[in-house]
Copies of this chain bind each other. A is one copy, B any other.
Amino acid sequence: MATDDLMSRALAALDEVDGPMSVEVIHRLVDVGAATDLMTIAEVADLLDMSPHTLRYYERIGLVEVARDASGHRSYDAETVRRLVFLTRMRLSGMAIRDLQHYVRLADEGDDTVPERLDLLLEHRETIRRQLKELTLSLAATEYKIATYGGHAGPSSAGKA
């Protein structure tokens, strides 16, 4: 839910810019969790549209460290939420958990690993681009098939308000 919100905001923002992505736009994306300072697992789960189970799982496998409050409950600070936003973004674009673990390990090792992290990101960017190509191709194939079945144009795409 909250992620849908995030999504629509981000997409709206993306629509505004029709050139290279502005850094500021992305900043808004990343800063989502900045309003509240400490969040419960349920709140974070809701924000990121994932289950508390998965959040615990991510912690268990070392993707994030999460502080506890007085009664032992997880307490997510802004920094942690930001990392989770990034991680889920990478997951959504198909980066393997294994690779995220590697990345996080590097990040925790300090600034010396920036070049290596950069490499990983550059590589992942290529992966995303390949996926975009594949998806575009699949979209074309699907629309072709739809056309042969006499399907109509469908929502959006052309008639954008």
Contacts and interface: CB of A to CB of B under 8 A. Distances in A.
Contacts of A27: 144
Contact of A93 (B30, B92, B138, B155): B138
Interface stretch (A50-58, A61-69, A70-78, A113-121): A113-121
The main secondary structure of chain A at its interface with chain B is: helix
A20 interface: yes
Contacts of A146: 118, 121-122, 125
A147 interface: yes
Interface residues of A, number: 62
Interface of A: 5-7, 9-11, 13-14, 17, 19-23, 25-27, 29-30, 86, 89-90, 92-93, 114, 117-118, 121-122, 124-126, 128-147, 149-151, 154-160
18 contacts: A6-B140, A10-B137, A10-B141, A14-B140, A22-B133, A29-B137, A30-B141, A90-B138, A92-B138, A118-B146, A118-B149, A118-B150, A121-B149, A122-B146, A124-B142, A126-B154, A128-B138, A128-B142
